[in-house]
Amino acid sequence: MELTGKKIVLGLTGGVACYKAAELCRALTKAGATVQVVMTDAATHFITAVTMQALSGQRVYSSQWDPRVDNNMAHIDVTRDADAMLIAPCSADFMAKLAHGVCDDLLSTMCLARPHAMPLLVAPAMNVEMWQNPATQRNAQQLRDDGITLFGPAAGEQACGEVGLGRMLEPQQLLEELIASFQPKVLAGKRILITAGPTFEAIDPVRGITNLSSGKMGYAVARAAREAGAEVILVSGPTALATPHGVQRINVQSAQQMHDAVMESVGGQHVFIAVAAVADWRVANASDQKMKKAADGSVPELKFLENPDILAKVAARTSVAGYPYCVGFAAESENLLAFGAAKREKKGIPLLVGNIGHHTFGQDDNTIILFDENGHTILPRADKLTLARQLISEISKRIAAHSLFQ
């Protein structure tokens, strides 16, 4: 219910992507928002007002002469208590109207008459050639210059059969973008490298050693960092999680692969957050072929080598270059306060996040403890995205004190 208490004006313009707007409307209401739908005449040719009213639970407006508004000023009244306007889909025609201040229907008039401080967000949806047309690109830039935020478009197959940029973002992506728009941009302009998930150490081509990490916390941290305005790279071990929208993801399997990806990407990063549950050891005598059961019942003897300590290596780099600011994670099964403090000292990092492994692996919520030079602070149990946002806020406060990050 991340949008509880928010009123969102959802504008629909003409385009086949209106079918996605129905799912978006449902997602917004499930997130707690009050959704006021406004449709252009063209939009009603793709989806009905009846459908949108059923999904939003609110009357739908499409005419600037609507007599249901007491003073016949829907273009004024509907937006005055709204928190944001989201136009999805936003056609090339409607983008041109916004760019040039044309207001010849209810929705365009509402956009022009909206309170100055209220965000206007648009999700372009059109044919690839229409999107790439110089006129549309000029209009898109004018909207950005006017403080209007563009979500997308995405690339892919289009209803017309052509392929390229122009698809409206998916409803879940738009929901994430809208939620992110309300988050404080405390890391605007910063670059953050994050590891997440488990690693997998092969025994043979079909077997391996891994752990119970789901990657949920690391992915939540990546999303929270991106919401805070950062440019985020996520180095991920094997998970089934969807990549947070706007985050660059690098997939790896083994600890060595994660090490190599981190060391290749860490240059120029402001912050490194090591959330991944990295295997301490790998199999030294892994087989190239699937191991078979021995006829005499004997079992294979596995030998192990220690994996590189990714966090320690980045921290050592920090001591020379001054950045990135390093944050580690520690999952323990006992004595978290003692082991967490000791691990922070051993790694030589300013901040370490501790949790109890069997209380967090695979779970949607958690309790975490922040260890720094002043001791420790407990963040009470909450869902992992809430904790991730709290962590990002703490990190932003800490790096704000360093002139290097100004």
Strand order in the sheet with 231-236: 248-251, 231-236, 191-196, 271-274, 325-332, 351-356, 365-372, 375-383
Cβ atoms 91, 42 nearer than 8 A: yes
Largest CA distance in the chain: 91
Spatial distance between the Cα atoms of 149 and 369, rounded to a whole number of angstroms: 36
Q: For the chain, how big is the Rg over CA atoms in Å?
A: 25
**392 phi-psi bin (left φ>0, alpha ψ -120 to 50, beta other):** alpha
Residues marked as catalytic? 160
The span from the first CA to the last CA of the chain, in angstroms, equals 34
Cβ atoms 237, 158 nearer than 8 A: no
β-pair partners for 316? none
Instruction: Return the H-helix or E-strand segment holding 249.
Output: strand 248-251
Q: Which tokens in the block code for residue 184?
A: 């404080």
Q: Which tokens in the block code for residue 379?
A: 């963040």
Q: Which tokens in the block code for residue 238?
A: 């094997």
Q: Which tokens in the block code for residue 369?
A: 């403890």
Which residues, other chains included, contact 326 with Cβ-Cβ below 8 Å and sequence gap of 6+?
271, 272, 274, 311, 314, 315, 318, 347, 349, 350, 351
Spatial distance between the Cα atoms of 359 and 108, rounded to a whole number of angstroms: 51
Which residues, other chains included, contact 342 with Cβ-Cβ below 8 Å and sequence gap of 6+?
none
Query: Cα torsion for 224, 386, 85, 8, to the nearest 10°?
Result: 160
Spatial distance between the Cα atoms of 153 and 95, rounded to a whole number of angstroms: 13
